Structure 1
Amino acid sequence: MHPEGARSTDGTVYRGRTGALRVAMATGAPVVPVVLDGTDRMNPRGRKLLRFTKVRISIQPARRYPAAVHRAQVRVATDLLMREMSALSGRPYVDRYAATFAAESRSARVLGCQSGLTPVERAGIFCWEHGRNRSLA
């Protein structure tokens, strides 16, 4: 399962969905983290043909998670796993869902806010002039 729930168009690692760890915690099944690095260059969105490039696959040791009592435990475990995968890939981590981040980035571009910043730099920046109570990350 891919915990991000969407492809990253810029190579950034986004917040993971909790489904994979929720299943693992409920069933006792092992989780084998796999980091795919370079797929954003090989198969960019909107292209019909694949580009020839190197994709690095890093398979980490299997791990088991104890059964969760509260939903917050699943969320914390998922966040820790995503941060670890981000560090392994050498890619920046943004603690926002990819779909939400993309929608807010489109809104920011329409408003002309923070257009020269990278996704990591935009994360958490608030535009008082245009955004009112919306974050432009």
Structure 2
Amino acid sequence: MLYWVMKYVLLGPLLRVFFRPKVRGLEHIPAEGGVILASNHLSVADSFFLPLMVPRRITFPAKREYFTGTGVKGTLKRWFFTGVGQVPIDRSGASAAQAALDTCVRLLRAGHIVGIYPEGTRSPDGRLYKGKTGISRMVLEAGVPVIPVAMVGTDKANPIGSKMWRPYPIQVHIGKPLEFSRYQGLGGDRFIERSITDEIMYALMELSGQEYVDVYAAKVKEAQAA
């Protein structure tokens, strides 16, 4: 209920007025059934505009810390992130990655749409970076298609490091579903997992028009920080 209130009553109308978002390719989103929306990641704003423009509810895995704060501020953050369709994932400890994977697979098998950023973090410079293979493990375990999504303009509306958003027209480009049923039963094969991930990233590159960099974005950010 809170998700739909945020989308159609509170946050959604404001975003539509100030950013005039447009979407193309909605016909590629199935009316029902589990599917992964794999998006490029330019800005925090991506997680606002993608759910706004897709009729079905999208669930994003998010850091557990967003939901565990105390006091008024903690309550407001928990309410907000729940309202925009995020579910808490514990990313600490050796089994954290598997726990996150299991949560997403459970949602997909139950017929939900799960939103994933294969790069693992926001692009530091607007280019598209190497995808992590966690998405391919979800594909192999849940047996669902992947729909590539290109967010355009969110980095202009919400540049990295900015505290205030700037009015800027946002576009959401949704591509044709990618089917990987030919790989079923081959889970655990690193070559297969990398092949699936690279195919997804290639589709994102074509859809977004971004320059592709065959390096993990997280490593680039670490180098910049150093």
Question: Considering the TM-score relative to the shorter chain, is it more than 0.5?
Answer: yes
CA pair 11-19 structure 1, distance change in 2 beyond 3 A: same
Whether 1:18 and 2:137 are equivalent positions in the alignment is no
Give the conservation status (yes or no) of the 8 Å contact 1:24–1:64: no
> Aligned-pair RMSD on alpha carbons?
1.6
The share of aligned pairs that are identical, in percent, is 37
What amino acid sits opposite 1:20 in the alignment? Answer: I
Whether 1:64 and 2:179 are equivalent positions in the alignment is yes
Secondary structure of the equivalent of 1:35?
A: strand
CA pair 9-38 structure 1, distance change in 2 beyond 3 A: farther
Give the conservation status (yes or no) of the 8 Å contact 1:14–1:93: yes
Give the conservation status (yes or no) of the 8 Å contact 2:124–2:221: no
Matches of 1:52 and 1:59, distance apart in 2: 22
- Structure 2 residue corresponding to 1:93, chosen from 212, 217, 221: 212
Structure 2 unmatched ranges of 5 or more = 1-115
Structure 1 unmatched ranges of 5 or more = 108-137
CA pair 87-98 structure 1, distance change in 2 beyond 3 A: same
Q: How does 1:96-111 map to 2 (within 5 A)?
A: 96-107=215-226
Matches of 1:91 and 1:5, distance apart in 2: 17
Give the conservation status (yes or no) of the 8 Å contact 2:145–2:177: yes
Aligned residues: 107
Which structure dedicates a bigger proportion of its chain to helix?
A: 2
Corresponding residue of 1:28: 143
- Displacement over 6 Å in runs of 4+: none
* Per-residue CA distance 1:89-130 (angstroms, 9 max, x = gap): 1110000100102223455xxxxxxxxxxxxxxxxxxxxxxx
Normalization by structure 1: what TM-score? 0.70
